[in-house]
Amino acid sequence: MKKCLLSLLGLLTIPFVGAATINELPSPANIGAMGSSLAVSPDGSVFLSWLEPGQDETWALKLSRFDAGTQSWGAAQPVASGADWFINWADFPSVTPLSDTDLMAVWFVNNPEGDHAGADGHHGGGYHSEYSLSHDRGATWSKPQATSGESLITEFTAVLPLHDNSRALVAWLDARARAGSRPVQRLYAQTLLAAGPDMLVDASVCDCCQLSLVRVAGGALLAYRGRTDTEVRDILLAHWRNGKWDAPRPLHHDNWEINACPVNGPRLAARGETVAAIWFTAAQGLPRVQAKLSHDSGATFGEPLAIDLGRPQGRVDTVLLDDGSAVFTWLELTGNEAGKSGGIFLRRLSADGVLGQPEMIAPSTTARAGGFPRIVPLGGRQLLLSYTVQGDESRVATLLVSL
């Protein structure tokens, strides 16, 4: 076992262990693909979704199911396509299993230029999320519908299956208030497939940071980057219980004051009463990736763990494995800043509190073209990772990782 690192800024330090075995799987995505997501259904099936360019400037959302027996991806299935889609490195579509057979797909469509722009011209005319449902594991899909019936600019949409009558809890960043005296994004949520108005979660949040939703005892837990009047943009948590949202509270007091959006959202994972949280901050001018664990469904969290190697770019993710351990991933710069060369790094925190040594599991650009790597548990101490590989034409790669 290697000696632990020195503590930085009061972060908890613990010893290192571990090594990973990594195998790249043939990807079902064509050249030019980007913006991949991974999701697990209640029966353990894993789905990969991604964006793929078509003809005449159209884009398509596609889907593939992982065959655990052959450890390979199935044939790509089309979900939806359009020529008016909003295509972005940070805000990309997803497909979420609502049950063993029901799936929900979300993507983003441009609004007509100038029709709905905020006072500051945020994203031109803006864009909105749409969703479609499949009741046969993606063979057929329903007619698309807008996520919100009240707002025309709905961005960075997160979906959480509720597993009761195929309902889904959906949260998003909302620009309906940007034309006001203080143009800020708001955070709203809605229970789709059930009647009810949009629910305001937070009246001022960071503009372009992803959200993370997990199911916990008694409801759901949402993590996001807030925004105060003094431009402090720390990570906040909000609980959803009995159809209502509790007042948001800080995950940790980083006190990161920044007059811009870092486009670097938090990620949560939940299993039983354990919740893992990971996030990026550059408070006090020191970029770092931190993680925390909760053992009471997110009611309280322990001290922050120092995760990165000193040059992190964020774009984090986390999962909880069958053995009770947590896995954290992030992007880290390994070359010079101008070249943007880096890697996707991984660390495992064992159930008894031993932190594995950081391992680079794949080289990756830290430029925007590299997107946001995503991981899901596969069973035992295996996980799947998907990410965008930059080149003359981008591609979506997937890795099978054994710990």
User: What DSSP designation does 260 have?
Assistant: S
The residues facing 94 across adjacent strands are 106
The residues facing 224 across adjacent strands are 236
Q: Which residues contact 360 (CB under 8 A, 6 or more apart)?
A: 332, 334, 343, 344, 345
Length of the chain counted residue by residue:
403
Count the alpha carbons within 13 Å of 205 in the hemisphere toward its beta carbon.
34
Q: Which residues contact 36 (CB under 8 A, 6 or more apart)?
A: 29, 48, 49, 50, 92, 371, 374, 386, 387, 388, 396, 398
pLDDT at 132: 97
Its CATH architecture, for the domain 21-402, is: 6 Propeller (2.120)
Query: How are beta strands 145-146 and 127-134 bridged, if at all?
Result: antiparallel
Question: What token pair was written down for 238?
Answer: 């909000």
For residues 281 and 331, is the Cβ–Cβ distance under 8 A? no
Q: DSSP 3-state assignment of 283?
A: helix
Tens of pLDDT along the chain (403 residues)? 333 332 333 344 434 445 899 999 999 999 999 999 999 999 999 999 999 999 889 999 999 999 999 999 999 999 999 999 999 999 999 999 999 999 999 999 999 865 544 434 455 679 999 999 999 999 999 999 999 999 999 999 999 998 776 689 999 999 999 876 678 999 999 998 777 899 999 999 999 999 999 999 989 999 999 999 999 999 999 999 999 999 999 999 999 999 999 999 999 999 999 999 999 999 999 999 999 999 999 999 999 999 999 999 999 999 999 999 999 999 999 988 877 899 999 999 999 999 999 999 999 999 999 999 999 999 999 999 999 999 889 999 999 999 9
What are the φ and ψ backbone dihedral angles of 203, each rounded to 5 degrees?
-85, -5
Domain boundaries, the chain: 21-402
For residues 165 and 112, is the Cβ–Cβ distance under 8 A? no
- For 157, counting Cβ atoms within 10 Å of its Cβ (0-12 exposed, 13-18 middle, 19+ buried), the class is buried
Question: What token pair was written down for 398?
Answer: 């997937």
pLDDT at 234: 98
What gap in Å lies between CA 157 and CA 211, rounded to an integer? 7
What pTM was computed for the model? 0.93
Q: Which of 273, 274, 268, 220 shows the shortest CA–CA distance to 242?
A: 220
How far is C-alpha 200 from the chain's CA centre? Answer: 21
User: What DSSP designation does 79 have?
Assistant: E
For residues 108 and 91, is the Cβ–Cβ distance under 8 A? yes
pLDDT at 120: 47
What gap in Å lies between CA 259 and CA 254, rounded to an integer? 15
Q: Which of 6, 63, 13, 68 shows the shortest CA–CA distance to 33?
A: 63
Query: Which residue's structure tokens are 């990165």?
Result: 308
User: What DSSP designation does 361 have?
Assistant: E
What single letter denotes the amino acid at residue 212?
S
Question: What token pair was written down for 62?
Answer: 């596609």
Q: Which residues contact 220 (CB under 8 A, 6 or more apart)?
A: 160, 169, 213, 214, 239, 240
Question: What token pair was written down for 339?
Answer: 């070249």
User: Considering all CA atoms of the chain, what is the largest pairwise distance in Å, rounded to the nearest integer?
Assistant: 60
What gap in Å lies between CA 372 and CA 357, rounded to an integer? 22
User: What DSSP designation does 85 have?
Assistant: B
What gap in Å lies between CA 11 and CA 19, rounded to an integer? 23
Three-point CA angle 64, 170, 92, nearest 5°: 45
First to last CA, the chain: 16
Query: How are beta strands 341-349 and 59-67 bridged, if at all?
Result: unpaired
What single letter denotes the amino acid at residue 267?
R
